[in-house]
Amino acid sequence: MKKVLVIEDEAAIREFEVINLRRAGYEVLETGDGKSALEILENNNFDFDLAILDIMLPDVSGVELCRELRNKNETIGIILLTAKSQEMDKISGLMYGADDYITKPFSPSELLARVDALYRRVALNKTRSENNFKEEIKFGEFSINFKNFSLKKHGKIINLTQVEFQMMEYFFSNQGTILTREQILHRIWGEKYSDEKIVDVNIRRLRMKIENNPSRPKYIITVWKTGYKWIN
Ligand code: CA
């Protein structure tokens, strides 16, 4: 079953999400605040594929909740709901582990396109994990593990989110090749995406995890005005 937790305090928006997700075949649990969201997650052993998280909640900031959720579950897909005026929160949310965001107001088809795309990624990684697919591939001082979505550097585990894991996989299979922002965006998020800033934010997050000095990266190199290149 495709299981989603909707966290939104505005009842009308929450209902709109829940109705549309259920119609599309998702099992949906819903709540209006951060405290009960964590309770629901814990009572269900964090067994959710996705969480859709409003950035403005009554008891806790969505960004904080996103960080807490990500700390407790590396593999859950997280989509932030934001308003146009919340650009900075959106960026911090992505830095703290959200996989995607939707700007209010949004249509049912936009909601479902984003949710379906992220669900496909989460499900794919789950299948791989269950089937022990490929297991581990080594590249220089790094090795990538398809069973627990982890990356090791000199044998030390670096935990990755879905998005970070897929980015690493993409870089590893294209070493020394320039990957444009657009290519990365389309490969990881899907063909319909156009906001290339989400790529830069995720690269920044990945660098903080893997580089010796994130401000002077030696593995993920920026190619001016074009994109990124993996060198190892
Ligand atoms: Ca709200």
pLDDT of 121 reads 82
Tens of pLDDT, residues 96-115: 889 999 999 999 999 999 99
CA distance 96 to 161: 10
Determine the distance separating the centroid of ligand 1 and the alpha carbon of 90, expressed in angstroms: 14
Q: Which structural domains are found in the chain, ordered by start?
A: 2-127 (3.40.50.2300), 133-230 (1.10.10.10)
Residue 47 is inside which H or E element, if any?
A: none
% of the chain surpassing 70 pLDDT:
97
Determine the distance separating the centroid of ligand 1 and the alpha carbon of 58, expressed in angstroms: 7
pLDDT of 43 reads 94
* Residues whose beta carbons lie less than 5 angstroms from ion ligand 1: 9, 54, 56
Determine the distance separating the centroid of ligand 1 and the alpha carbon of 120, expressed in angstroms: 27
pLDDT of 95 reads 81
Q: Look at residue 131 and tell me whether its pLDDT is greater than 70.
A: no
Q: Look at residue 35 and tell me whether its pLDDT is greater than 90.
A: yes
Residue 148 is inside which H or E element, if any?
A: none
Provide mean pLDDT across the span 19-42. 95
Determine the distance separating the centroid of ligand 1 and the alpha carbon of 83, expressed in angstroms: 9
CA distances from 134 to 55, 138, 150, 171, 173 (A): 37, 11, 13, 17, 14
Angle, alpha carbons 16-19-21 (nearest 5°): 105
- Whether residue 105 has a cis bond before it, omega within 30° of 0: yes
pLDDT tier at 211 (50, 70, 90 boundaries)? Answer: very high
Q: Are the C-beta atoms of residues 225 and 117 closer than 8 Å to each other?
A: no
Determine the distance separating the centroid of ligand 1 and the alpha carbon of 10, expressed in angstroms: 6
pLDDT of 199 reads 94
Provide mean pLDDT across the span 74-100. 85
Q: Look at residue 133 and tell me whether its pLDDT is greater than 60.
A: no
Determine the distance separating the centroid of ligand 1 and the alpha carbon of 53, expressed in angstroms: 9
Neighbours of 73 (CB within 10 A): 18
Determine the distance separating the centroid of ligand 1 and the alpha carbon of 29, expressed in angstroms: 17
Q: Take residue 225 and report the two structure tokens written for it.
A: 């005005």
Determine the distance separating the centroid of ligand 1 and the alpha carbon of 56, expressed in angstroms: 4
Determine the distance separating the centroid of ligand 1 and the alpha carbon of 14, expressed in angstroms: 9
pLDDT of 134 reads 61
> Is residue 136 left, alpha or beta, with left meaning phi > 0 and alpha meaning psi from -120 to 50?
beta
Q: Tell me the pTM.
A: 0.72
Tens of pLDDT, residues 146-155: 777 789 999 8
Q: Look at residue 141 and tell me whether its pLDDT is greater than 60.
A: yes
Instruction: Determine which of 66-70, 92-96, 117-121 has the lowest per-residue pLDDT on average.
Output: 92-96
Determine the distance separating the centroid of ligand 1 and the alpha carbon of 103, expressed in angstroms: 12
Q: Look at residue 129 and tell me whether its pLDDT is greater than 70.
A: no
